[in-house]
Amino acid sequence: MPERDPTDPRRHVPRTDAVLAEPVLAQAISRLGRDRVRDAVRGAQAQVRAGALSPDQVVPATLAALPAGVTSLTPVINATGVVIHTNLGRAPLSAAAVEAVVAATGTVDVELDLATGRRSTRGAGALAALLAAVPEAGSALVVNNGAAALVLATTALAAGREVVVSRGQLVEIGDGFRLPDLIASTGARLREVGTTNRTTLTDYERAVGPDTGCILAVHPSNFRVEGFTAAVPVAALATIGPPVVHDIGSGLLRPHPLLPDEPDAASSLRDGAAVVTCSGDKLLGGPQAGLVLGERDTVDRLRRHPLARALRADKLTLAALEATVRGPRVPVLDALEADPAVLFARCRAVTAAVAPELGAQTVEAEGVVGGGGAPGLRLPGWAVSLPESYAERLRTGVPAVLARIERGRCLVDLRCVPAASDPLVVEAIRDAGRGESR
């Protein structure tokens, strides 16, 4: 064996287990897991071997290399003015829903009656909350998302048979998710009626027969057809005979005055829909979920279908949903109903707080509902206008702030920002400004 050079840095590389035993790293292990921290230690040791780091810097270098948290998901301040932003995870949960989720993370009575010790209906509290909010429904069911609710409804009611649907409602929801493909995947056959812009009651009546499993009405939640148009209301469809499945999309349980064109579950059931399906994380303002509300017998058919088990919601969702439906006002409503005068005052305060040389201005800006529905609806409001180059620095800063770019300006719209976060927005703009002057 050749004699080793005593000045060789490899001789001084601290041992992995000794480094891992350092109290600060022990803390990091309990937060991030041993593998992550060990990998970071090895990275630092390699730098020592390469002569790029002195041995006593292994611990600080390891700490510096560690991520802030175990998940790569990064909180983002939604300054886009888009109330339901699909790329930002749609509805932010209310504080009450967050609390409910945290409480449900351990072992909970999601499917157990503590009084009798027997198995109970899964998520009974969330179902009861939905039925209390929509007394028009005889029964309710919660699945993974809106698409799952629709798949379950068409499968249980029409597999091997026909789903009668208007050509004007064969929509693509987004990200390549097309309704016709979804229904075809369930083994039901699509029976298209009418044309893109006009469908009449007679069109449906001619198509309906012994092979009809259900009539499907889909709310065109992301576009509008204007001009020479006709669509058949649910109340008329319900007179034909087969069960009517109404996919209302955005999850309004009752009518909302700002959203006159958005269908709601209560009205649709009163009009005679057998079941209504919708999402939990759009205008309802809750967790990702698919809600099915409707006639007891029909909902029970869906509940008993084997597919229901594959689509069922988890305990965290059920907890958040119950808290959303029963609990305090949700952030989505705050954003939707934000008072323009209040938005103006907040934007003025942020504009005044950032350095004047940044050229910030308070400007009128319209928000939109977004992926949640109400296409074409403009929500009057205000924003802080900055040079366009700010958008990227805000997006990549800490905290990340997603603004929108409009006519060559970066608009920081406070509609969807909780007022308590305004100081964070001010800091983020100042940081971005420092990057700007560098």
Ligand X SMILES: *Cc1c(COP(=O)(O)O)cnc(C)c1O
Nearer to ligand X, 179 or 428 (CB): 179
Tokens of 266: 């209560």
Q: Which is nearer to ligand X, 273 or 401 (CB)?
A: 273
User: Is the Cβ–Cβ distance between 289 and 319 less than 8 Å?
Assistant: no
Judge whether 66 and 36 are in contact, CB under 8 Å.
Answer: yes
Helix axis angle for 34-49 and 23-32, nearest 10°, is: 130
Contact 206, 164 (CB under 8 A): no
By CB under 6 A, tell whether 145 contacts ligand X.
Answer: yes
Q: In this structure, which amino acid lies at residue 187?
A: G
Binding mask 33-62 for ligand X (x = CB under 6 A): ------------------------------
CB closer to ligand X, 281 vs 413: 281
Is the bond into 399 cis (omega within 30 degrees of 0)?
yes
Residue from 136, 162, 247, 262 binding ligand X (CB under 6 A)? 247
Which of 222, 243, 236, 257 is CA-nearest to residue 292? Answer: 243
407 φψ region: left (φ > 0), alpha (ψ -120 to 50), beta (else): left
Residue pair 234/217 in contact (Cβ under 8 Å)? The answer is yes
On the question of a cis peptide bond just before residue 263, with omega within 30 degrees of 0, the verdict is: no
Part in contact with ligand X (CB under 6 A); list of ranges 205-213, 244-252, 262-270, 353-361: 244-252
**The token pair that represents 293 in the structure block:** 């509300």
Q: Which residues pair with 77 in a beta bridge?
A: 401
Using the rule CB under 6 A, give the single segment among 4-12, 13-21, 72-80, 215-223 that binds ligand X: 215-223
* Residue 312 beta carbon to ligand X: minimum distance, rounded to whole angstroms: 15
Torsion, CA 27, CA 33, CA 39, CA 40, rounded to 10: -30
Separation between Cα atoms, residue 401 and residue 394, nearest integer Å: 5
Is the Cβ of residue 79 or residue 248 nearer to ligand X in the bound state?
248
Q: Are 255 and 270 in contact (CB under 8 A)?
A: no
**Of the ranges 41-49, 67-75, 129-137, 141-149, which one interacts with ligand X (CB under 6 A)?**
141-149
Say which DSSP state 13 is in: P
Q: Which window, 75-83, 146-154, 398-406, 411-419, contacts ligand X (CB under 6 A)?
A: 146-154
Of 150 and 410, which has the nearer Cβ to ligand X?
Answer: 150
Stretch of 1-9, 124-132, 190-198, 242-250 contacting ligand X, by CB under 6 A:
242-250
Shortest distance, position 163 Cβ to ligand X, whole Å: 14
Cα–Cα distance between 194 and 204 in angstroms, integer?
8
Please choose, out of 145-153, 183-191, 201-209, 355-363, the segment that lies near ligand X by the rule CB under 6 A: 145-153
Q: Report the C-alpha gap between 101 and 95 in whole angstroms.
A: 10
Q: Which of 218, 308, 374, 412 binds ligand X (CB under 6 A)?
A: 218
Residues 272-311 that bind ligand X (CB under 6 A): 279, 290
- Residue 172 bridge partners (DSSP): 178
For 184, other C-beta atoms within 10 Å of its C-beta total 14
Q: Which of 125, 146, 213, 294 contacts ligand X by CB under 6 A?
A: 146
> Residue 78: which H helix or E strand, with range?
strand 76-78
d(CA 261, CA 143): 26
Q: Does 186 bind ligand X (CB under 6 A)?
A: no
Residue 149 CB-density burial (10 A; 0-12 exposed, 13-18 middle, 19+ buried): buried
154 or 250: CB nearest ligand X: 250
Is position 173 an interface residue for ligand X (rule: CB under 6 A)?
A: yes
Q: Which of 45, 47, 199, 221 binds ligand X (CB under 6 A)?
A: 221
Q: Which of residues 119-138 bind ligand X (CB under 6 A)?
A: none
Least distance from ligand X to the Cβ atom of residue 279, Å: 3
> Which is closer to ligand X, CB of 151 or CB of 379?
151
If the CB atoms of residues 112 and 231 are measured against ligand X, the closer one turns out to be 231
Q: Which residue's C-beta sits nearest to ligand X?
A: 146
- Tell me whether residue 161 or residue 219 sits nearer to ligand X (CB atom): 219
Please choose, out of 98-106, 216-224, 264-272, 411-419, the segment that lies near ligand X by the rule CB under 6 A. Answer: 216-224
d(CA 225, CA 274): 26
Residue 42 Cβ, how far from ligand X at the closest point, in Å? 42
Q: How far is the CB of 262 from ligand X (least distance, A)?
A: 10
Q: Under the rule (CB under 6 A), what is the footprint of ligand X?
A: 145-147, 150, 173, 218-219, 221, 247, 249-250, 279, 290
